[in-house]
Homo-oligomer: A and B are copies of this chain.
Amino acid sequence: MDKQKDILNAALKLFTEFGFHGTPTSKIAQEAGVANGTLFHYFKTKDELIVALYVDIKKQLGFCVAKDIQAEDSIKETARKYYVAALHWGIDNETEFRYIQQFLSSPYVSMIPAELVEQSLAMINMIKEGIKQKLIKVTPAEYVMSIISSHLYGVNQYINSQKLSSAKQKQLINESFELVWKMIT
């Protein structure tokens, strides 16, 4: 019914499987069950579709990650929640996660709209608070952020490649958080 959503879904599936170049817009339209021209009704160009898909996924991730946080949580608790939520999301949305990677290491990165940049500000601020409280020993905050992000990315990669059981996954996720936390505190 919602053709725009159908197109985004089709694009996600095909882009992650065949890459940006390997996926003609005609295939996307076909997979989405709409006419060729309809795609261009919703997205002026193929590039715009590629970026819009990234923005859409990033918003989903942002929403999912933020929803459990509570004001009274300690820094560590907040960090853990962010970390765990992101990892769970990455496991439940493997395709979306791969799309983000693919997008970020493509020349399309330069087209990310300004509005999205602010999203990761909440995490940076949390880290800064941790540093101010002398809880986090490593500085500056941006460096810590880099380390955590890539750690998260590596663990996700590992979990997906090993196809662990749900229980093992849960355990690994918690342990891996303690690992990073130990590293930066």
Q: Bound complex: CA of A114 vs CA of B165, how far in Å?
A: 28
Q: Cβ of A40 < 8 Å from any Cβ of B?
A: no
Total copies of the chain = 4
Establish whether residues B147 and A107, one from each chain, have CB atoms under 8 Å apart when the complex forms: no
User: Chain B residue with minimal CB distance to A99?
Assistant: B105
Establish whether residues A162 and B183, one from each chain, have CB atoms under 8 Å apart when the complex forms: no
| Interface-side segment among A57-65, A81-89, A138-146 | A138-146
| Interface-side segment among A2-10, A16-24, A115-123, A126-134 | A16-24
User: Chain B residue with minimal CB distance to A145?
Assistant: B158
A107 touches which one: B19, B158, B172 (CB < 8 A)? B19
Q: Cβ of A78 < 8 Å from any Cβ of B?
A: no
Chain A, interface residues (CB within 8 Å), range: 35 or more
Establish whether residues A179 and B22, one from each chain, have CB atoms under 8 Å apart when the complex forms: no
With contacts A107-B18, A162-B142 taken as known, whether A153 is within 8 angstroms of B155 at the C-beta atoms is: no
CB within 8 Å of B: which of A80-102? 98, 101-102
Q: Cβ of A163 < 8 Å from any Cβ of B?
A: no
User: How far does the Cβ of A165 sit from chain B's closest Cβ, in whole Å?
Assistant: 15
Establish whether residues B151 and A155, one from each chain, have CB atoms under 8 Å apart when the complex forms: no
Chain B residue numbers with a CB within 8 Å of A157 are 146, 150
Seen from chain A, the residues whose Cβ lies within 8 Å of a Cβ on chain B are 17-22, 98, 101-102, 104-108, 138, 142-143, 146-147, 149-151, 153-155, 157-158, 162, 172, 176, 179-180, 182-184
